[in-house]
Chain A
Amino acid sequence: MTSASDPHMAADDVLLSVEGVSLRFGGVKALSDVSFNIRKGEIRAIIGPNGAGKTSMLNCINGFYYPSEGRITFKGKTRRKMRPHEAARGGIARTFQNVALFKSMSTLDNIMAGRSLKMKANFFWQLFRYGPALREEVVHRRSVEEIIDFLQIPHIRRTPVGKLPYGLQKRVELGRALAMEPDLLLLDEPMAGMNLEEKEDMSRFILEVNQQFGTTIALIEHDIGVVMDLSDRVVVLEYGRKIADGTPQEVKSDPRVIDAYLGIPH
């Protein structure tokens, strides 16, 4: 489905591959035998009707759930079990379907918290907030301010995020994920519940992140228009199975996808 001239063609370009992943909760099968890959530098969309297992898929990728079967290979390393914090250390960041910010903290602190992993000053210096601890705070504060500028939210810097409107919360959450400087960014419905203008802003940020920082992005989105515009390749899930995989054009014309979305009985 990809031509020889496709720059993403080379096999070592694969950042993450999912092979035969199944996920069971008791008797319920949330995912069955799903395989796909994500290439370095691309925007990969995961779409499907409600309950298709999209969020479960993301949860498997960053170690929140362990797949019952199958393998996930990230940066050439295959694993069966990985703790979420190990995934974060490996360079996977994400945002959540229902905003999962630290509500009582300010925007600034939320994004600073995203840099926890990058901060190294030991406990002793932290006690006195002196030397390396203070220098580190300043250095990271600077990069956080860059993210704040990039997302155009300097005015809410000190506002507790719990008080922000939904659209801005989503933006702060993106900022927090960006602060981790991830290799792979997982976005779970980044535009859910937004109006057209907010959607346009968010789309622009996603594209800029992808192009400026070269961050690979996997996103779940319901708005088909957005998906078609943003993504390089799309994987379609239905009832926990993969039913299509390819460029937006290919997927759009796939009869099974049309069935799934229009609800034609099988």
Chain B
Amino acid sequence: MLYREAGQFKSTYASDMVVFRLKEDRAGLAVIILMAYALAFMGSDFLLQAVLIPFLVFALAAIGLNLLTGYAGQLSLGTGAFMGVGAYACYKLMTAFPDINVIVWILVSGFFSAAVGTLFGLPSLRIKGFYLAVATLAAQFFLQWCFIRIPWLVNYNVSGALDAPLRTLFGVPVVGATATPQTRYIVVLTLVIVLTWVASNLVRGRIGRMWIAVRDMDLAAELMGIRLLQTKLLAFAVSSYYCGVAGALMVFLWYGGAEYDVFNINQSFFILFMVIIGGLGSLIGSFFGAALIFIMPILLGIVLPIMLAPFGIAIGAETIEHLRFMIVGALIIFFLIVEPHGLARLWQIGKQKLLVWPFPY
């Protein structure tokens, strides 16, 4: 009886158009955000470094891809490369202008991947669906080639890898070897919350409606005065911005340095899976998808050896990696068959059920 729509009347359109129309939902969100911040102080370093930070980074990248594929309906297999553009741009910027705060550069680096994403989005006017997927593969392989072949991008490092120089925020190290997982987690969490809020603003307004219109029925959208190219390019730009920021966060606030190989095609696929399993066209689904695809294998790595130990079966890290592939693959097929709209739809159904509980409808 705690969760009811009845009795919550809206007297203005503005209050009727907020994300969470029910006060219970709003309270729930506040609790989750508070708990997320509290985890910075209560969670172990392992939890922060190996679970929560990567989860947030992947969720951000998944939101980026979801804006493009889920909302605007343009399939992209180049996410990894767009993340790479953000990371390399951020590296160049923060080493060229070390005095300006690194958070600024992380946010600015997204604009570089937005520009590159827009460029590779240009073919989307003429080509659709699978064909477009191949165009984004061109982006994936071409950009990855650039990361390898242009030493200028890594300031002619002999190793060819990105490293994380020490950068501080209010005197506290946030990037570099001395930055604690706690600080990095708080920075990542804050950025992800802000960017998620911005994304939700976009998708609820005119731009989001235009994206969905183009996805659902592009010809009708065009006959209603929506310019297809601009709308699609905007989706590519915003999506790549998010991916770029996620890429910068991944390298500098999670790994603390990386090689070109982390932006390979498998990364693109993994983020696509997060989006599919989480739910195309759902922001909250991006979080669910990231959680399932990223955290599930970690749990598997912990749980499986314990479960199999009594039978005397030792299970290597490699086998777990193989099982991870299999399980991810099986999950994708399973979800597509059972619920093509992903975890987000299950979540919605659950909430709907709760609204009318204990009655069936």
- Chain A residues at the B interface, C-beta cutoff of 8 Å: 62, 64, 83-85, 87-89, 93-94, 96, 100-105, 109, 112-114, 116-117, 119, 121, 123, 126-129, 133-134, 136-138, 141-142, 145, 176, 180
Contact = CB atoms under 8 A, between A and B. Distances in A.
Contacts of B210: 113, 116
B11 to A, nearest CB: 12
B216 A104 contact: yes
Interface stretch (B59-67, B220-228, B294-302): B220-228
The binding surface of chain B is classed by DSSP as helix
B128 interface: no
Nearest to B214: A102
23 contacts: A85-B223, A85-B226, A93-B224, A103-B216, A104-B281, A112-B209, A113-B212, A117-B224, A123-B207, A123-B234, A126-B205, A126-B206, A126-B207, A127-B202, A128-B201, A129-B201, A129-B204, A133-B205, A137-B206, A138-B12, A138-B13, A138-B17, A176-B224
Given A128-B201, A180-B224, A116 B13 contact: no
The binding surface of chain A is classed by DSSP as helix
Counting contact residues on chain B (CB < 8 A from A), the size range is 20 to 34
Contacts, number: 105
A109 B217 CA distance: 14
B14 interface: yes
A180 B220 CA distance: 13
B224 A64 contact: no
B239 to A, nearest CB: 14
A62 B206 CA distance: 23
A96 B202 contact: no
B219 A101 contact: no
A176 B222 CA distance: 13
Contacts of A136: 206
B213 interface: yes
B217 A100 contact: yes
A175 to B, nearest CB: 12
Contacts of B204: 129
Contacts of B281: 104
Contact of A141 (B13, B198, B202, B215): B13
Contacts of B17: 137-138, 141
B206 A127 contact: no
Nearest to B204: A129
Contact of A64 (B212, B216, B223): B223
A129 to B, nearest CB: 4
B266 to A, nearest CB: 30
Interface in B1-27: 12-14, 16-17
A181 to B, nearest CB: 11
Contact of A94 (B16, B217, B223, B234): B223
A180 to B, nearest CB: 7
B13 A142 contact: yes
Contacts of B219: 64, 100
B339 to A, nearest CB: 15
A123 B202 CA distance: 9
B225 A117 contact: yes
A62 B281 CA distance: 30
Nearest to B199: A127
A35 to B, nearest CB: 24
A170 to B, nearest CB: 14
A164 to B, nearest CB: 14
Contacts of B223: 62, 64, 84-85, 87-88, 94
A198 to B, nearest CB: 22
Interface string B239-268: 000000000000000000000000000000
Contacts of A88: 223-225
